[in-house]
Structure 1
């Protein structure tokens, strides 16, 4: 029993802070702001303790200069379209049982576009709709668990329906954040290491 407890503790130590997510905030009037942390909590002025691990997030579908600030990374995005980010190097692969597992983070800000460009992405069924489809590699993902954080930091879990859809309830004005994750059991290479499975973690933010 003692050996089992020690092994479990070692796995917890090796795994990344899976509660952490990348998200983007963008009001369409200035630069986008890319964060790493726990979105249900206020971002510390000096950044989340894990923020230094966010080194080179990749903009997807847009270009812009990245500038590091105290608690976020600014992306000078031209125009008012949706902003997408991908990063597969935040946490190094970790041991999960007999094999290694890695994580890829995705983030999107805005709900004006009905197309998807990320491997795991929440997409509005119509521009500025409250109903979204969760896509994984271009296909709707049914029965997937999601978490919604409202402007007053109320948080609740939901599940996509058979068509991979979910409706975000209207609970006040401000920023909404929806997060989803999906574990893919397939060989891959992350940070130069072979992994047996990948955790895909995606967020969507929009303002009502």
Structure 2
């Protein structure tokens, strides 16, 4: 019984970590992209988040052959000018008991010059460099979705998309903003080669104002 309880606690802890973490991308001008794994509302620990080692090879969209260099707490990659998009479904292996397994897929975007979606889940500006965004899932807007806006000085506010999946972000002052959202999908699903009953789709948008 003690071993079983310990295993359940470990699975619960893994679930909480996977849901609390995000992948986000930072980019200054046309410089290299920096890909992070962690909790963007908190200050990044020296050397990066404790789970950073699980971020192995995030996929750039569209695919890029640029080398990914591991730095202290982030992965650096030289990509063409413009918005940067990343997807990763391999950070945390599916967890839980058979028939009820859960998993997580991360989607990240830096920049808001392109008012189009290129990821299955994406927070997209409705106009280039505008403060109004829409959450898109497979090309369709997602109404009543909660988004968390994290300011440069780490205050955060939750906003909700309207019936058209849109919301205006409470952006005040200059600096780097991070917008996050977590959406759940349930059913007879597959993640990688594993059968799962639930997938957490966690998306971020990062931009500098």
The two structures share one fold, judged by TM-score above 0.5: yes
What is the aligned partner in structure 2 of residue 171 from structure 1? 172
Q: Is the 8 A contact 2:159 2:169 kept in 1?
A: no
Is contact 2:149–2:170 with CA below 8 Å preserved after alignment?
no
SS at 2:187's partner residue? coil
State yes or no: 1:202 paired with 2:188. no
Instruction: Please name the residue that 1:78 is paired with.
Output: 80
C-alpha RMSD of the superposition = 1.9
Structure 1: unaligned runs, 5 residues or longer: none
Aligned pairs (5 A) from 1:29-108: 29-61=30-62, 63=64, 64-79=66-81, 81-95=82-96, 99-108=100-109
* TM value normalised by structure 2: 0.90
Shift of 1:13: 3.0
Alpha-carbon distance change, 88 to 174 in structure 1, aligned in 2, over 3 angstroms: same
Taking the aligned partners of 1:54 and 1:158, their CA distance within structure 2 comes to 29
Greater displacement, 192-201 / 108-117: 192-201
Structure 1's 75 and 7: CA in aligned 2 closer, same or farther, altered over 3 A? Answer: closer
Q: Which runs of 5+ in 2 are unaligned?
A: none
Give the equivalent residue in structure 1 for 2:146.
145
SS in 2 for 1:99: coil
Are 1:155 and 2:156 counterparts? yes
Q: CA deviation at 1:191?
A: 4.1
C-alpha deviations, 1:83-130, integer Å up to 9, x for none? 000000001111179511111000000000011011110111110010
Secondary structure of 1:204 counterpart: strand
**Are 2:12 and 1:12 equivalent residues in the alignment?**
yes
Shift of 1:171: 1.6
**What is the number of equivalent residue pairs in this alignment?**
203
* Length-normalised TM-score, structure 1: 0.91
Partners of 1:10 and 1:50 lie apart in 2 by 15
Instruction: Check the 8 A contact 1:62/1:77 in 2, yes or no.
Output: no
C-alpha change, 1:7 and 1:35, in structure 2 (3 Å) is: closer
From the superposition, tell whether residues 14 and 69 of structure 1 become closer, same or farther in structure 2 (CA, over 3 Å).
closer
